[in-house]
Structure 1
Amino acid sequence: MAPIDLGDSIPPNTAHAVSVSLPTWRANVGYEEGEQWVVGTMVTGYPRFFIHKAIQALSADILSKHGRPGQSAMLFPTRRTAQRCADFIRDKAEPSAVGDLSILRLVLDPAKEFAEPLRSLSPSICAVLFPQEIFPVAKQYWQHSGDGVSSRRAEFCHGLFRDGLLTLDDRSPSPRSWQQQKMRRGPKRYQRGASIDETKGSNGHTHGATNGRPSPPAEELADSLESSRFLEERYGRNLDVSLVENAKSAIRRRIAGVLTTDLDLASKSLPVMDSNARGVSNLQEHDIYLTPCGMNAIFVTHQALLKGRTPQKSINFGFPYVDTLKILQKFGPGAMFYGHGSSADLDDLEARLQAGEKFLALFCEFPGNPLLSCPDLARIRRLADTYDFAVVVDETVGNFVNVNVLPFADVVVSSLTKIFSGDCNVMGGSIILNPGGRYYGALKAAMADAYEETYWAEDVVFMERNSRDFVTRIDRINANAEVICSVLEAHDLVTKVYYPKYNDSRPNYEACRLPKGGYGGLLSCTLKTKAHAVAFYDALETAKGPSLGTNFTLTSPYVILAHYQELDWAASFGVDPNLLRISVGLEDDLGEIFARALRAAEAVQ
C-alpha cells in the first residue's frame, strides 16, 4: 500500500472513512497528547472518538440559528436517544455546571410538499444543547453509547437544513421568517410562505385540510410538481428508498448465516430462513436487530437486560474493548471485572455465585481484543444456567464464518463496521437474541422499549453492498493471518504472538470453531524492547490507524490508542503497553512486508 499521510482518512479520499492515518509511533502518542501537529492535520477519525466534520458543521449551524452564546450541541437521530444523553449529562456533570440544557428536534417542514423518497427517509435530527464547559461529559455519552448520528445522516440533513426544509417540530415557521431566508437554490416555491393547513390529496392535488378553501391555481400546482422533482433530484442521491427494507433483510440474513450469495434486492421475495440457522432452532429474522454501530449493539443490549430483568451488577469477563466496561460501569448498578478471563477467574466467580451473589449478565468477547484469548463458553453457560444470569458474547473478532457462539449465548453482538463491511467506509452493528434462551421472552419485550431502528438508510445501502462477498473474503484473510504469524513466530526479536491458534485458550476456540472455520484475521505481537516495536511499526508498509477488520491490513500500537491514560492498569492484566495489533487484509505479499519491517527493527542498537 502506498504511504498515507498523517491525518488523512483511511481509505484515502473517502468522505465517510472509519479510520485515520497515524503512520508513526510518535504520531499515535501525539494524538493521545492532543498535540496540534497531529490533531490539526486530521481530516477524520474513528467516529465514536472523533466527531465527523459533517456532524460538526451541522451542529454549528443549528447552534447559530437556535442556540445561545456559550452553548455546544450533540446530535442524535431521535428524541429518545437525545433524552438519554441529556439524562447522562444531568447525572454525571456538576449540577452547577449543567445550566441551560435543552433538546431540539428538527423535522421536515410540515408546511411543504416533499417527494415520496424524501418523506420515506423520515430525516430528522435531535440536538442536545448544553454549556460548552460540560462538552467532555456529553462526549462520554457519544463515545460509550454509539447513539450519535452518522456522518451520512448529518450530511444529508445539513443540506435540508441549509435549504430551510428542516424546522422545529414544536412550532411552524412564520411567513415572515421564511421571507427573510435567502434561498439561493431550488424552485421559487421555497421563497414564499406556505400554510401548514395544506395537505396532499389522493389525486396528488393540494387541498385545504380544514377550511374548505378552493383548489389552488394552476401556477401553484405546477410549483408543487417542480418542488417534488427538485427535491428528488437534489436529495435522492440515486438512493432507491424502496430497496432499503430489502437491504436490511439481506444484512440480517447474512448475519444469520443463511444468505451467502448475491441477492436481487428488487425481488419481492427473499430466501426462506433456515430453521436451524446458527445452530439454534427457530431463529427468525425479527430476532436480529441492526444498530448504527457495534458499541450501540452492546449499549442497547445492556439497556434491554436492565429493563427485562431485575437490575443488578454485570460481569465483564476477559480484557475488554474499552467502552464495553465503561457501559457496564456508568449505565447501571456497575460491574464485576475479571480482566484475565482465566479458569481461575471462573473459579472465583463460581465461588461468589455459590455464596449467593447475583448478577444481571456476563459480557465477554470471543476472541478477546487485543490478546485474542477465548473464554470457556461451555463452562460459562453451565454457570449461567445454574445461577441465573444472561450471557452476552461479542463475536466481532471471531466472526460467524469461523465460529458459532450463539448456542452458548443469550445474546450475540457484533460490530458490522469491521470485517463484515471490510471497506472501512460505513458503521454498523447487530444484536441476535437466542430464541432458545431462558430470557428470550423478557428480552424480546424489553427490546420494544430499549431498541429504536435508527440505522440511516444510506448507511444500510453501503453496508449491504460491502457485505455481499463477506464469506469469500474470510478464507483469504484467515490464510494471510497465518502467513504473518509464521513470519513473526520465526523471528528472534518477537517475544510473543497472540493468535487463537497459538494461545493457551485454543481448546475454548476449538469448541466453537466451525468445520470450515479458520482462526480469524486479528493478531497481536510484542517485541523485545519498545525501541524495537517503534522501529518495526514505523517501517511497516501497511495502513496504520485505529479500527480493525478492513480488507487491507491495518496496524496500530493498540494499547497506546485505547489505554494511554491507564497503561499500568492494562499491564496488570498482561497487556504490554508496546503491543502491536495487526488486522489482516487481502494483500498478496504480506509475508515479505512484515519481514522487511522486522529487518528495520534489527537495526536498532
Structure 2
Amino acid sequence: MPRIDLGESIPPHTAHALSVSLPTWKANIGYEEGEEWVVGRMVTGYPRFFIHRSIQAFAADILAKSGTSKTKAFLFPSRRAAARCTSFVESQAPPEIAASLVTVNLVLDPTRPTPEVLATYCPEISAVLCDQASFPFVKQYWQHSGEGISSRRAEFCHGLFKDGLLHLEDSIASSTGVTSPKPCRGPKRYQRLSSVDATKPVPSAQPAQNGASADTQESESFRFLEERFGRNLDVSFVQPAKSAIKRRIAGALRSNKELSHTPPPEGEMESNLRGIVNLREDDIYLFPCGMNAIYNAHRALLGARGSNLKSIDFGFPYVDTLKILEKFGPGVVFYGHASEADYEHLERRLEGGERFLAVFCEFPSNPLLACPDMKRLRQLADKYDFAVVVDETIGTFANINVLPFADIVVSSLSKIFSGDANVMGGSAIFNPNGRYYSALKAWVETEYEDTYWPEDIMFMERNSRDFVSRIDRINANAEAIVDVLRASPLVKRVFYPRYNESRANYEACQLPSGGYGGLISFVFYKKEQAVAFYDAIDTAKGPSLGTNFTLTSPYVVLAHYQELDWAEQYGVERDLIRISVGLEETEHLVNVFKEALRVAEGVETQQ
C-alpha cells in the first residue's frame, strides 16, 4: 500500500473507510489533543469515534428543519434506540441537562405511495438533538453503545429527506392530521439490481417538467425511485446474505459461491466448527458493529437475569467494553491482570456469597493478547450461577472455538471477517446448551431490534467469502514478523498468544487447523526507539485492526491517552505498538519490519 497522507482514509479513496491515516507518533498525540493541524485534515475516522461526513451533513439538515436552537443531532436507526440514549443521559447527567434533549422522528410520508424497495429498507431515523452542555453525554452513548446509524444508511436516508420522501413526523401530523407512520413491511416483489458496489450519495429527485400534472409527476417520481434504488442494492438477496454470514460465523458455510435464493441444505448447521450439533441460525444475531453486539449481550443478560447484579470484567479489555459495564446497569468488578491472584480473589468473593451477572472477557485480549483459563471460568460460572461472555474478535472463529465455554460469544465482524475495512458489523451467538438460553431467547422476542442496514449486510457478505483462506495467510505472516521482533535486541517484549504465559489457555481452545492470529503487540526499551520505528514503518498507520493490509498503531496512546498511568498499572505500557498483520508477501513484510528496526537502532547509536 502506498504511503497515505495525514488525515486521508484507510483504505485510500474509500467512501466508507473504517480508519484514517495518522502517519507519525506526533500526529497521534495531536489527534488526542484535538490539534487543528491533525483533526482539520481528517476526512474520516473510526466510525464510533468520528462522525462520518455523510452523517454530519444529514444531521445538519435535520437541525435546520427542526425549528429548535439545538446545536448537534445524533442519528439513530429506531425510536427505541433514541429512547435508550435519552435514558442514559438521564442516568448520567444533571436533571436540567437531561431535560434539555429533544427527539425528532423521520418517517416516510404516509400520504404518498411508497416504492416497495423503500418499505424493505425501513429507512426511518430518530434524531436526538442536544446543546453544548448535553453533547458530551449523548456522544458517550453514541460511542459506547454503537447504536448510531451507519454512513451508508445516512447517505440513503439523506437522499430521501432531500427528495421530500422522508419527513419530520410532527410536520406530517400538523399538515395532514396523520399521526402514526406507515409501518415497514416485507416486500412482495423486488427489483433486479446490478451491483452492491455503489456507495455514492443518493442524488436529488429530478424536477418536474413544465406543464406536467401532479399525478404524472408522482408516477414519474415513483418510477424514478424504484429504478434508482434498484441500482444500488438487490434487496431480494438481503435474507440469503444474512443466512450466509451466520453460517460462516458458525463454521458451517465455508464456500466462495454466489448467493442464491435456494435454502441451504438441511442439516448443514449440525456439522460446524463450534462443535455444537443443535446450534441454529436463529441462535446467531447480527448487529451494526461489534460494540453494539457487546452492548446488547449485556442488555440481554440484565433483562434475562435481573438488573441488580454487577458484572465482572476479567483481563485488560478493549476500552469501550469496560465503559459499558461501568455505565450501564449496576456496575462492574474489574480484574485487569487476570492473574492467579485475581482468580483466587474472585473465588473467595464467590465463596463468601457474592453473586454476579456475568464474566466478560476477551480471547485473546486487546492489546496484550493474553487468554483467560476458559475451563476454570466455566467451572466457576456453573458452580456460582453467572454467565460467561467471550469476545473472540482477535482470536477469530477460524483459529479458536470458545463457544462450549460461553453462554454468549460476541465478535466484531468489522475486523478480519470483513477485512476490507469498508463496512461495520457485529455478531452474538447464544449457546443453545447454556443455562440462560431460554431466558435470553425470551428477551429477544420483545427487545431485540434488527437494525443492520441492508447495504452494509451485502458488503459484509461479499467481503467475508474468503475469510478462512485469508486467516491462514495472516497467521503465517504474523509468525514471521514475531520472529523478527523477538530477535531484535531493541525490543523489550513481544505479546503474542504463542509466546505469552497464557499459551496453554489459548491452545486449549485452538482448532486443529488454527493458528495464533494476526495481532501482535510489542514494546521497545526506550520511547525514542518506539517513535522512530513508528514514524519509519512502511505500512498503513491508523486505528482499527483485522484489515487485509498491515496496519500499525501506537495503540495505548490512541485508546488510553487520558488514562495512561491507569493502563500502565495493568502492564499496558504507554509506548506499546500494535501490529495488525495483513496479506502482503511474507518476504516483503519481513523486510519492511527489519528496515524500521534499523531506523530505531540508529536512534540508539546516536545517544
TM-score by length of 2: 0.92
- C-alpha deviations, 1:52-105, integer Å up to 9, x for none? 111111111000001412432110000000000011112212222334322111
Equivalent residue number for residue 594 of structure 1: 593
Pick from 369, 386, 390 the counterpart of residue 383 of structure 2: 386
Equivalent residue number for residue 16 of structure 1: 16
Pick from 256, 270, 273 the counterpart of residue 275 of structure 1: 270
Equivalent residue number for residue 301 of structure 1: 297
Equivalent residue number for residue 207 of structure 1: none
- C-alpha deviations, 1:439-491, integer Å up to 9, x for none? 10011111223321000001001000000000110000000000000000001
Change in 2 beyond 3 A, CA 1:112/1:354: same
The Cα shift of 1:118 comes to: 1.8
The Cα shift of 1:327 comes to: 0.4
Distance 2:370 2:535 in 1: 27
Distance 1:65 1:435 in 2: 48
Distance 1:385 1:158 in 2: 49
The Cα shift of 1:120 comes to: 1.3
Equivalent residue number for residue 288 of structure 2: 292
Q: Is the 8 A contact 2:63 2:70 kept in 1?
A: no
Mean Cα deviation higher: 304-313 or 97-106: 97-106
Asked if 1:92 corresponds to 2:92, the answer is yes
Change in 2 beyond 3 A, CA 1:175/1:299: closer
Q: Is the 8 A contact 2:390 2:410 kept in 1?
A: yes
Q: Is the 8 A contact 1:300 1:450 kept in 2?
A: no
After superposition, where does 1:320-469 map in structure 2 within 5 Å? 320-469=317-466
Equivalent residue number for residue 198 of structure 2: none
After superposition, where does 1:487-502 map in structure 2 within 5 Å? 487-502=484-499
Provide the secondary structure at the position in 2 that maps to 1:188: coil
Change in 2 beyond 3 A, CA 1:257/1:161: same
Q: Is the 8 A contact 1:392 1:409 kept in 2?
A: yes
Equivalent position amino acid for 2:450 in 1: E
Equivalent position amino acid for 1:431 in 2: A
Provide the secondary structure at the position in 2 that maps to 1:413: strand
Distance 2:210 2:491 in 1: 66
Q: Is the 8 A contact 1:292 1:454 kept in 2?
A: yes
The size of the alignment, in residue pairs, is 574
Pick from 238, 241, 247 the counterpart of residue 235 of structure 2: 241
Provide the secondary structure at the position in 2 that maps to 1:495: strand
The Cα shift of 1:189 comes to: 9.7
Equivalent position amino acid for 2:269 in 1: D
Distance 1:147 1:191 in 2: 45
Change in 2 beyond 3 A, CA 1:372/1:184: closer
The Cα shift of 1:235 comes to: 3.0
Equivalent residue number for residue 186 of structure 1: 206
Asked if 1:28 corresponds to 2:28, the answer is yes
Equivalent position amino acid for 1:602 in 2: E
Pick from 237, 241, 256 the counterpart of residue 262 of structure 1: 256
Provide the secondary structure at the position in 2 that maps to 1:156: helix
Q: Is the 8 A contact 1:276 1:282 kept in 2?
A: no
Equivalent position amino acid for 1:590 in 2: L
Change in 2 beyond 3 A, CA 1:72/1:191: farther
Equivalent position amino acid for 1:56 in 2: Q
Mean Cα deviation higher: 103-112 or 551-560: 103-112
Where structure 1 has 5 or more consecutive residues not aligned to the other structure, the ranges are 177-182, 193-218
Q: Identity of counterpart residues, as a percentage?
A: 64
Distance 1:545 1:326 in 2: 22
Q: Is the 8 A contact 2:269 2:277 kept in 1?
A: no
Distance 1:191 1:568 in 2: 71
Output the aligned Cα RMSD.
1.9
Provide the secondary structure at the position in 2 that maps to 1:141: helix
- C-alpha deviations, 1:332-367, integer Å up to 9, x for none? 110000001122211111111000000000000000
Equivalent residue number for residue 543 of structure 2: 546
- C-alpha deviations, 1:479-506, integer Å up to 9, x for none? 0000000000001001101000000100
Change in 2 beyond 3 A, CA 1:220/1:70: closer
The Cα shift of 1:228 comes to: 2.3
- C-alpha deviations, 1:254-301, integer Å up to 9, x for none? 101100002332332223333243112300000000000000000000
- C-alpha deviations, 1:162-187, integer Å up to 9, x for none? 111101335527779xxxxxx97336
Change in 2 beyond 3 A, CA 1:4/1:353: same
Distance 1:155 1:69 in 2: 24
Where structure 2 has 5 or more consecutive residues not aligned to the other structure, the ranges are 177-202
- C-alpha deviations, 1:11-44, integer Å up to 9, x for none? 0111100000000000000000000000000000
Change in 2 beyond 3 A, CA 1:434/1:488: same
Mean Cα deviation higher: 395-404 or 87-96: 87-96
Distance 1:359 1:224 in 2: 59
TM-score by length of 1: 0.92
Equivalent position amino acid for 2:482 in 1: C
